[in-house]
Amino acid sequence: MIERFQTNDRMSQAVKHNGIVYLSGQIGEGDSVTAQTEACLAKVDALLLEAGSSREHMLQAEIWLADMADFDEMNAVWDAWVPKGQAPTRACGEAKLAFERLKVEVLVRAIVKD
């Protein structure tokens, strides 16, 4: 069975199938990479909770930055947010994001809590 969360005609914010939760790319508002990363991760937390998971159950994360020069600033927020000893596999790269104001986008996959 496939379960979809916060679905519209274009996409779902999360999809759960076979015990795995797949999140769409999460973006956040703010003037800095720090603010946008904090907002993205708050959305990740909320979606994982809604789908029956949590950051402690993450398997993989992809982070897209509009500018790799922001890598250290984003990592400062990420490192404080990720549960100690439970970091997922992760990739981070530079990409042209959907809107010029965006600096970071985060995608996560996680297992459903037992």
From residue 33, give the alpha-carbon distance in Å to each of 21, 60, 61, 71, 79: 26, 21, 17, 9, 14
pLDDT of residue 113: 85
For residue 22, pLDDT over 80 is answered with yes
Q: How many helices (H) and strands (E) does the chain have?
A: 2, 6
Kindly report, residue by residue over 69-104, the tens digit of the pLDDT. 999 999 999 999 999 999 999 999 999 999 999 999
Cα angle value 38/36/66 (rounded, 5°): 130
pLDDT of residue 64: 98
Tokens standing for residue 26: 């999460």
- Give the mean pLDDT of the chain: 97
The structure's pTM equals 0.95
- Domains, the chain: 2-111 (3.30.1330.40)
Burial class of residue 50, CB neighbours in 10 A (0-12, 13-18, 19+):
middle
CA distance 70 to 103: 8
The H-or-E segment that residue 105 falls in is strand 104-111
